[in-house]
């Protein structure tokens, strides 16, 4: 699956916020939109009038999946060795119908069945407006999906859209209060808030610059925050980056029914020889077994952020937890340290990933900088350069004179983070779930369970780091003690 956070951050907001203003005076007269009916039902919940999205289906619906399967085979998908079935991991997934060998190529979805930024719009005028305004791929695809979904049966993608989840498992559907409450201990909370803000900002930009100027093409009943939340949720959890197509992103029906396994190494790509999206199995499968791919080397937090699930504890070798290190404002050299950090595009607080196997050299370099005394000011630049993942400078720097302070600094940060996790996990047992409706109660229980799973896996890595740090500090200190004893013995001898 696509490296969403990278794509999102590098192309979405910056490019879009520099969009030129539309110059057409009378957009309505320019285009005669084909869209006449709006297929969105309006429901009133509480005092706010909201649009209930009637696209897609329940996350585990097999009926719509069967219609999708039939439409795909009629539209050029070759016969498959797998079928969509209800599965234990991921609700619906692709299951082997026959014996599948290790090293076998599967799928062969032709480009005519992909949705990309170049796909034809059922309402071409809407697509033209977005393209004239150089809207980047992600917002363009999000708008495309809504436009096609609202046309229902008149869209060629109607069978595909009907089989998409009506509410993808996405952190975009968590309220701010839920993010604050359930993800309080984890840095993933900040990433989720940032992502929600990016989606909201993107929608507002589109609305301001385009939708309000072409209300016939983009009526608010259809193109609104609710529908954008849905389409971005679909993109985050299903869009694929295809390395062999210069990294283009695409929605690939059928291929996007494959679930992720942390144990699998194989991923989707375009195969030039067969001219379709394929993947090569890295293990054999027997009939009835679920077939998996890898969505990328992602931590549990990143999987929750984009795909809305957390793998079972201890099963993700790529799991990591973000540790936030900060330079103390009362540091005598705060100004000089900040200058060095800024020069290397770092800030006073910086996150570094801890893994069960250790931590990056950049983290140690940052810790050296944070604890170094004024007498080491000439090394600040070298430390900041080594702390930046963007520079190619030497990373493995060592300052034995401040190693103990640097390790103690990381340990203190690790332990204060551990306290937050432990408090959350203790309190989660007695968390107030005073819900009146059973549906709401189920939702809250579900979110809480995801948060508990995430925090348990992140805390496990922090415990391991704490153990390693304590042991290293003990070794340093006992080494120093031995040296002192030796020194004392020598002094006595000379006396």
Ligand X SMILES: C[S@@+](CC[C@H](N)C(=O)[O-])C[C@H]1O[C@@H](n2cnc3c(N)ncnc32)[C@H](O)[C@@H]1O
- Applying CB under 6 A, which residues contact ligand X? 89-93, 165, 168-169, 237-238, 256-257, 259-260, 307-309, 311
Q: Measured between alpha carbons, how far is 138 from 8 in angstroms, rounded to an integer?
A: 7
* Residue 304 or 468 with smaller CB distance to ligand X: 304
Closest CA to 293 of 73, 105, 65, 80: 105
Report yes or no: 287 and 256 within 8 Å, Cβ to Cβ: no
Taking the least distance from each CB to ligand X, the nearer of 3 and 362 is: 3
Measured from the CB atom, the residue of 28 and 312 that comes closer to ligand X is 312
CB of 40 to ligand X, least distance (A): 22
- Residue (230 or 368) nearer to ligand X, CB: 230
Query: Structure tokens of 175?
Result: 């309220």
The candidate with the shortest Cα–Cα distance to 455, out of 214, 189, 190, is: 189
The residue with tokens 């509480």 is 46
Contacts of residue 6, Cβ cutoff 8 Å, sequence gap at least 6: none
* Closer of 290 and 372 to ligand X (Cβ): 290
Residue 326: phi, psi to the nearest 5?
-135, 145
What gap in Å lies between CA 58 and CA 77, rounded to an integer?
Answer: 24
- Three-state SS for 10? helix
The CB-of-446 to ligand X minimum distance in angstroms stands at 12
Nearer to ligand X, 84 or 140 (CB): 84
In the complex, the smallest distance separating the C-beta of residue 142 from ligand X, rounded to whole angstroms, is 16
The single residue listed with the structure tokens 């539309």 is: 22
For residue 329 the two structure tokens come to: 């404002």
The H or E element containing residue 459 is helix 438-494
C-alpha to C-alpha distance for 356 and 27, rounded to whole angstroms: 57
Cα distance between residue 191 and residue 199, in whole Å:
12
Give the residues across from 251 on adjacent strands.
115
Report in angstroms the alpha-carbon separations of 460 from 279, 321, 350.
33, 9, 21
Taking the least distance from each CB to ligand X, the nearer of 256 and 322 is 256
| Choice between 60 and 180, CB closer to ligand X | 60
Smallest gap from residue 83 Cβ to ligand X (A):
13
In the complex, the smallest distance separating the C-beta of residue 224 from ligand X, rounded to whole angstroms, is 23
Least distance from ligand X to the Cβ atom of residue 193, Å: 20
Query: Nearest 5°: CA angle at 93, between 230 and 155?
Result: 45
Who contacts 432 (Cβ-Cβ below 8 Å, separation ≥6)?
Answer: none
| Closest distance of CB 1 from ligand X, Å | 7
Helical residues (DSSP H) of 402-437, grouped into ranges: 403-428
Q: Which is nearer to ligand X, 149 or 367 (CB)?
A: 149
Q: Cβ 432 to ligand X, closest distance in Å?
A: 27
Closest distance to ligand X from the beta carbon of 450 (Å): 10
């Amino acid at each position: 699956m696509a490296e969403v956070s990278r794509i999102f951050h590098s192309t979405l907001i910056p490019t879009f916020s520099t969009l030129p203003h539309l110059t057409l005076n009378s957009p309505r007269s320019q285009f005669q939109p084909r869209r006449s009916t709006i297929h969105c039902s309006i429901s009133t919940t509480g005092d706010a009038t909201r649009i209930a999205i009637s696209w897609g289906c329940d996350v585990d619906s097999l009926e719509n999946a069967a219609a999708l399967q039939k439409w795909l085979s009629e539209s050029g998908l070759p016969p498959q060795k797998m079928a969509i079935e209800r599965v234990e991991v991921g609700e619906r997934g692709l299951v082997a119908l026959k014996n599948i060998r290790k090293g076998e190529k599967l799928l062969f979805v032709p480009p005519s069945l992909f949705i990309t930024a170049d796909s034809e719009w059922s309402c071409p005028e809407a697509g033209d407006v977005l393209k004239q305004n150089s809207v980047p791929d992600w917002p363009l695809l999000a708008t495309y999906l809504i436009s096609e979904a609202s046309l229902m049966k008149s869209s060629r993608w109607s069978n595909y859209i009907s089989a998409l989840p009506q509410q993808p498992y996405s952190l975009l559907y968590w309220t701010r209060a839920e993010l604050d409450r359930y993800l309080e201990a984890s840095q993933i909370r900040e990433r989720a808030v940032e992502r929600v803000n990016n989606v909201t900002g993107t929608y507002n930009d589109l609305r301001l610059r385009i939708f309000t100027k072409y209300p016939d093409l983009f009526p608010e009943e259809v193109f609104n925050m609710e529908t954008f939340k849905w389409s971005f949720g679909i993109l985050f959890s299903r869009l694929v980056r295809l390395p062999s197509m210069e990294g283009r992103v695409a929605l690939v029906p059928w291929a996007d029914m494959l679930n992720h396994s942390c144990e699998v190494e194989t991923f989707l790509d375009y195969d030039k020889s067969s001219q379709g999206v394929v993947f090569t199995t890295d293990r054999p499968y027997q009939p009835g077994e679920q077939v998996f791919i890898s969505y990328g080397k992602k931590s549990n937090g990143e999987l929750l952020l984009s795909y809305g699930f957390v793998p079972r504890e201890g099963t993700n070798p790529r799991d990591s937890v973000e540790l936030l290190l900060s330079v103390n404002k009362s540091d005598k050299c705060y100004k000089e340290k900040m200058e060095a950090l800024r020069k290397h595009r770092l800030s006073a607080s910086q996150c570094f990933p801890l893994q069960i196997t250790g931590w990056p050299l950049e983290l140690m370099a940052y810790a050296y900088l944070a604890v170094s005394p004024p007498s080491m000011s000439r090394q600040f630049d070298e430390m900041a350069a080594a702390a930046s993942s963007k520079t190619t400078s030497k990373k493995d720097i060592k300052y034995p004179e401040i190693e103990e302070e640097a390790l103690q600094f990381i340990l203190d940060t690790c332990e204060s983070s551990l306290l937050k996790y432990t408090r959350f996990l203790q309190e989660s047992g007695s968390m107030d779930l005073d819900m009146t409706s059973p549906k709401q109660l189920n939702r809250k229980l579900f979110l809480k369970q995801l948060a508990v799973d995430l925090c348990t896996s992140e805390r496990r890595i922090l415990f391991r780091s704490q153990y390693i740090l304590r042991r290293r500090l003990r070794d340093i200190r006992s080494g120093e003690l031995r040296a002192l004893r030796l020194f004392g013995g020598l002094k006595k001898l000379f006396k």
